[in-house]
């Protein structure tokens, strides 16, 4: 972890700086319920300083003017430093937000490294500059860095989402102010140490943890050109409204209520491991989790038997224990929210198949039993609203059209799955589902493909070459034919 004295400071202008006030954010362990650290709660003055540093670095510094290859070299050094401190970073994330250490090592840190590598692989192939000829004119079309980026990241995958935003922004030539979530700030201190070791110019990345009011000040700051936010749909609506007043560019990756559609010929030996990995992942706290299990009525009884066995077998406990599969949710308030939805499900008439309470023998920590509801109807709140905890609902269908209708009967459209032994049929069904990503038989899309949502799940895309689009402004130059030929000779 970053030296403890750093926790009293903010990372601004390439150095550790004293905050403007004595206000603190307490980072509390969701397992022990004890305070892990107290870090500065950034103030408006701190945001002003951070934005000013990013603005200076963009307007007058070397970073946007470096060749792409030189920016890539800096990001490669970041990848090397991250790999060297992989275990340390995984442990920090597990401590601050409760992710099981086995998943922190894979999704939270190894996943972040693979993401960084994918952007480095894609960057040289992105169309940063191209010559276009037509009978109406000749143009040089470039993609210029959008400017100063406010990157607002959530607590559930703090490092992964940080890199999801910063890496394409930095490769594009942008500078940034990173705003970590109050629940998970400690990894950002370690990340700042890694940045310092890369040789990144001062002011290119600045880090200011802050509460909601100051966060709103950041996303409306006149020195910010672009806001990239990952979090709840409610918060995303607020940010979109604030940015809309100034026509500030904004990318939003928001909530989900994704459906796993299990057709009547599905192989349950494929389905169950996928549900275990992609429905209850991160203690149920992942926006892309498949939390609506939409199953053919002819297979429902068999699925429920196997789902009960699988969920009941999950090891719940200390996130630092490599055998733990489900840890605590991030906060006391989050546990109250999840437990509230479990009670709502009961009142609505759904039945608890397994779970529904707090795990026995775990009197300390913000734990919720992994829970499965049956007899869930599409109109129920537990089928429509994002719970963000280890809670699944099973909905039955009689034919394929009904399955697609249930999957699409949602205000969200982030993710989904289709399970069938016929991959071509799976693709045909997936094409009918209105969501940004659909996994066929649990096959994930990887980091070279765009992710993002339809409907209330967001605006814009991240990952893949499309991930660069969020951080550039296309610019066109009218050219005489001779210059067009010089820049891109005709073949």
- Point out the residues that are catalytic: 253, 287
CA 395 to chain centre: 27
- What are the angstrom distances between the C-alpha of 272 and each of 298, 356, 441? 17, 20, 10
Q: Which residue, among 389, 378, 303, has the nearest Cα to 342 in the 3D structure?
A: 389
Cβ distance 159 to 93 under 8 Å?
yes
Tokens representing residue 166 in the block? 């910063």
Residue 133 and residue 136: Cα distance in Å, rounded? Answer: 8
Cβ distance 389 to 337 under 8 Å?
yes
What are the backbone angles phi and psi of residue 292, rounded to the nearest 5°? -105, 115
Q: CB under 8 Å to 360, separation ≥6 — which residues?
A: none
Q: Which residue, among 258, 256, 272, 257, has the nearest Cα to 419 in the 3D structure?
A: 272
Q: What one-character DSSP code corresponds to residue 356?
A: -
Q: Contacts from 100-107 at CB under 8 Å and sequence distance 24+?
A: 100/283, 100/319, 100/321, 100/324, 100/325, 100/326, 100/327, 101/319, 101/320, 101/321, 101/322, 101/324, 102/322, 102/324, 102/325, 103/281, 103/282, 104/319, 107/157, 107/160, 107/281, 107/282
Cβ distance 149 to 224 under 8 Å?
yes
């Amino acid at each position: 972890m970053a030296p403890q004295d750093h926790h009293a400071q903010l990372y601004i202008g390439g150095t550790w700086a004293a905050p403007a006030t004595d206000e603190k954010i307490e980072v509390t362990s969701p397992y022990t319920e004890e305070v892990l650290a107290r870090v500065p709660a950034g103030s408006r003055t701190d945001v002003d300083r951070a934005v000013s540093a990013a603005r200076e670095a963009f307007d007058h510094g070397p970073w946007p003017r470096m060749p792409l290859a030189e920016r890539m070299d800096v990001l490669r050094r970041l990848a090397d430093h991250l790999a060297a401190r992989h275990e340390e970073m995984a442990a920090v994330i597990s401590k601050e937000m409760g992710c099981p250490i086995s998943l922190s090592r894979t999704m939270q840190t190894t996943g972040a490294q693979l993401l960084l590598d994918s952007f480095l692989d894609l960057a040289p192939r992105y169309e940063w500059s191209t010559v276009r000829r037509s009978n109406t004119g000749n143009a040089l079309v470039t993609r210029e860095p959008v400017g100063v980026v406010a990157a607002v990241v959530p607590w559930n995958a703090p490092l992964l989402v940080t890199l999801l935003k910063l890496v394409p922004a930095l490769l594009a030539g942008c500078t940034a102010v990173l705003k970590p979530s109050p629940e998970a700030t400690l990894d950002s201190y370690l990340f700042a140490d890694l940045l310092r070791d890369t040789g990144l110019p001062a002011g290119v990345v600045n880090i200011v943890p802050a509460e909601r009011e100051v966060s709103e000040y950041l996303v409306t700051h006149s020195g910010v050109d672009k806001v990239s936010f990952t979090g709840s749909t409610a918060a995303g609506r607020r940010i979109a409204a604030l940015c809309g007043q100034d026509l500030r560019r904004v990318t939003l990756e928001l909530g989900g209520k994704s459906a796993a559609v299990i057709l009547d010929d599905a192989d349950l030996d494929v389905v169950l491991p996928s549900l275990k990995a992609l429905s209850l992942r991160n203690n149920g706290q992942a926006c892309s989790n498949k939390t609506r299990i939409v199953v053919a009525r002819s297979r429902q009884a068999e699925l429920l038997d196997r789902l009960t066995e699988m969920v009941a077998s999950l090891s719940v406990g200390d996130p630092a224990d490599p055998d733990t599969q489900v840890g605590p949710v991030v906060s006391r308030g989050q546990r109250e929210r999840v437990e509230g939805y479990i009670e709502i499900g009961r009142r609505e008439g759904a039945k608890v198949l397994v779970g529904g309470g707090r795990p026995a023998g775990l009197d300390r920590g913000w734990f919720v039993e992994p829970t499965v509801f049956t007899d869930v109807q599409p109109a129920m709140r537990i089928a429509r609203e994002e719970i963000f905890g280890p809670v699944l609902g099973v909905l039955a269908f009689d034919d394929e059209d009904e399955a697609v209708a249930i999957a699409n009967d949602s205000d969200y459209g982030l993710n989904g799955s289709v399970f069938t032994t016929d991959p071509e049929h799976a693709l045909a069904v997936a094409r009918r589902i209105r969501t940004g990503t659909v996994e066929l038989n649990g096959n994930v899309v990887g980091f070279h493909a765009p992710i993002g949502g339809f409907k209330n799940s967001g605006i814009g895309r991240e990952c893949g070459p499309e991930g660069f689009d969020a951080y550039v402004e296309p610019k066109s130059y009218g050219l005489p034919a001779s210059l067009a030929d010089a820049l891109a000779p005709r073949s």
